[in-house]
Structure 1
């Protein structure tokens, strides 16, 4: 049974600001925000919810997540098991305030891409975050900046095609973003083909490119940078590298891992302040997120044992970072603490900025006609409730 909702006495996160809102209407049948709702008699037919001045924000969007809660997205047994794991992840993520997520597939063999990508077409789940498609982080990456990726599987754009690596149109249709290194031979052609031919966003990362090469990639159609400062040349006062693009005239969007491990707090604050409207928070989380500390087996991306200590995961016996175990709500709170920005500004980096960059018109902003995917937060940014399509799917113990 659907419920039309009248939400009263709240503040909403909008464009980096907190705005007092006396009333907010949700159509329980369509799951959309509306200006007002009436029944056939023209009278209000709503269930009223008083939020007692708590904060409403758009449900968060996970742009880069490799896995969590014991599931790594490169592990594929069969379609049924893989589908069940996706749904389990979607229901786990709403506990962290996430309303939509892009599955990240790192550098793996072509046959792995071709098996998994058809499973990643956008879809909605009952009581869970929506699957928004795939983010392929590789295999057109620079081996010198491989991070935890398998350098032996990396490819050069001039020697491979989209179809050879990812599969036919059925597979490619699931891809919404590709991370590549723009200094590789043939990258400009691939960027143009991805963006103009397939409407796929291109992000620059795992790269040793200099500033000018990055600028040329932006002019070819790239629009963002992946986990800035990690797996790229450091920012130097005479050679700013890709990181320097944050303050260029053609400034791309740029993602940051705000877990306190991948970036120092001062570096995170500097990057955010460079361009808050283009800043994107990501977790880059791996399958150990939500699990206990310890030693875990590898998979199609990492053929080594992995050690989890708190939010940090490394290849056993090394200090090579594999990914993070932070949640997106935690990253939002970290950004407010370390940069001094407001909660609404930090929320924007996990909602509106991503929606704008990815061209999402149905979510990521609280406005009439968009999906009623939202979270209720306290003033510290803790997730109290998550609503998907106008339906409460998570409530914390208070």
Structure 2
């Protein structure tokens, strides 16, 4: 039996508090939590002194298309490489996100990636996130397509029980049966890419779509048709319903911090989440890079990637370059709430939305997916299932006593 004691840590219980303590890990699970680190003295156990550093659950990213030079849409090799990369940013669980365009090869491509999820290195992946194909508003590579439960069954079958999330637009024709079928199949429907009015949004919510992803981004307002009367639409309908949770790309570019603060007061921290929606370029140093899309991008770490000319869309955003730890650091800076509530937005809250009962918390019996943090909120060590999958190169001399 492999046993590891992490002592002298400041243990973050998401949404609850931060207390000094020690964690005992046995066979990939949290076996015990000791509130007084200095008093812990166990035999037959490896010991790591956290030296009063923060110890949190691993971060969970529900919406990400890739990282560094790797894109999930490119296939299993890129998927494996990306899952090995993200623990360097504190992410221990991620939902690889694919753009489901309705192309002829879509089912085969999705099936190949679902196969690859059976055994993954680095971060765990509880399933796939299909962004589309039932969308009403284009954005990124998404196309418009009406709801189709026959196609939905084909997509679910292609995923071999590994479809975790599907993003849809509330105003898409025939979308209500799709939402209901997703819930029956245990797939979480996310609302996004929408210009829906209040009634369309409320109908989708009533059918079971109770989460909005990359909120505010591609959530268009309606045009003012009665001068002096401000129209309300999907954003207001979502903010007004406390049962609907939301997530944001917290880079300060895709969403202004003021909009996130407004959502916090409407929703409460329990219904707020952080995603990256990252793509090629996330985690890379500042610079210019080639892409498989026929143009080059310039990357500003944590602030997005933009298309380089000559190109008709030169200067436009080409995706997020955010990493999960950068997003947490931004929220800690922007929001005047206790830090344990911010940590919940990247751990226990997404775990709840995804139904992952053994992840996102520091409790006896849960998975030992943990991150020990440096003062600058870069990971010092990251564990997945009790195995160290990332160690900061600057602390390679740090000793684990045996």
Q: TM-score, normalised by structure 2?
A: 0.85
Moved more, 186-195 or 306-315: 306-315
Secondary structure (helix, strand or coil) at the match of 2:270 reads coil
Deviation at 1:162, TM superposition (A): 0.8
Task: Indicate yes or no: 2:258 matched with 1:266.
Answer: yes
Match of 1:32 in 2: 29
Query: Residues of 1 paired with 2:263 and 2:190: CA distance?
Result: 17
Match of 1:192 in 2: 180
Which deviations, in whole Å up to 9, do the C-alpha atoms of 1:210-250 show, x marking residues without a partner?
Answer: 22321211110112001111001249994442222444344
Q: Which ranges of structure 2 fall in alignment gaps of 5 or more residues?
A: 35-41, 396-402
Match of 1:367 in 2: 363
Query: Residues of 1 paired with 2:204 and 2:183: CA distance?
Result: 11
Deviation at 1:306, TM superposition (A): 4.6
Match of 2:46 in 1: 47
Query: Residues of 1 paired with 2:61 and 2:264: CA distance?
Result: 18
Query: Residues of 1 paired with 2:234 and 2:306: CA distance?
Result: 25
1:349 alignment partner, one of 326, 333, 345: 345
Task: Check whether the contact 2:278–2:321 (CA below 8 A) recurs between aligned residues.
Answer: yes
Q: How does 1:379-394 map to 2 (within 5 A)?
A: 379-394=375-390
Deviation at 1:253, TM superposition (A): 1.4
Match of 2:39 in 1: none
1:213 alignment partner, one of 200, 222, 226: 200
Give the 3 Å change call, closer, same or farther, for CA 22–291 of structure 1 in structure 2.
closer
Match of 2:101 in 1: 108
Query: Residues of 1 paired with 2:194 and 2:340: CA distance?
Result: 32
Secondary structure (helix, strand or coil) at the match of 2:218 reads coil
Q: CA RMSD of the aligned region, Å?
A: 2.5
Match of 1:327 in 2: 323
Task: Indicate yes or no: 2:7 matched with 1:8.
Answer: yes
Task: Indicate yes or no: 2:165 matched with 1:177.
Answer: yes
Task: Indicate yes or no: 2:312 matched with 1:317.
Answer: yes
Give the 3 Å change call, closer, same or farther, for CA 249–229 of structure 1 in structure 2.
closer
Secondary structure (helix, strand or coil) at the match of 1:323 reads coil
Q: Which ranges of structure 1 fall in alignment gaps of 5 or more residues?
A: 38-42, 77-81
Task: Check whether the contact 1:134–1:174 (CA below 8 A) recurs between aligned residues.
Answer: yes
Deviation at 1:35, TM superposition (A): 2.4
Task: Check whether the contact 2:7–2:21 (CA below 8 A) recurs between aligned residues.
Answer: yes
Q: TM-score, normalised by structure 1?
A: 0.86
Secondary structure (helix, strand or coil) at the match of 1:349 reads helix
Give the 3 Å change call, closer, same or farther, for CA 247–130 of structure 1 in structure 2.
same
Q: How does 1:148-297 map to 2 (within 5 A)?
A: 148-151=140-143, 154-158=144-148, 161-163=151-153, 166=155, 169-171=157-159, 173-196=161-184, 198-234=185-221, 238-275=230-267, 276-291=269-284, 293-297=287-291
Task: Say how many residue pairs are matched.
Answer: 372
Query: Residues of 1 paired with 2:335 and 2:8: CA distance?
Result: 29
Secondary structure (helix, strand or coil) at the match of 2:319 reads strand
Task: Indicate yes or no: 2:57 matched with 1:58.
Answer: yes
Deviation at 1:324, TM superposition (A): 0.4
Secondary structure (helix, strand or coil) at the match of 1:157 reads coil
Query: Residues of 1 paired with 2:241 and 2:219: CA distance?
Result: 21
1:135 alignment partner, one of 111, 129, 134: 129
Moved more, 259-268 or 89-98: 259-268
Query: Residues of 2 paired with 1:291 and 1:238: CA distance?
Result: 42
Query: Residues of 2 paired with 1:317 and 1:309: CA distance?
Result: 18
Task: Check whether the contact 1:61–1:100 (CA below 8 A) recurs between aligned residues.
Answer: yes
Task: Check whether the contact 1:376–1:383 (CA below 8 A) recurs between aligned residues.
Answer: yes
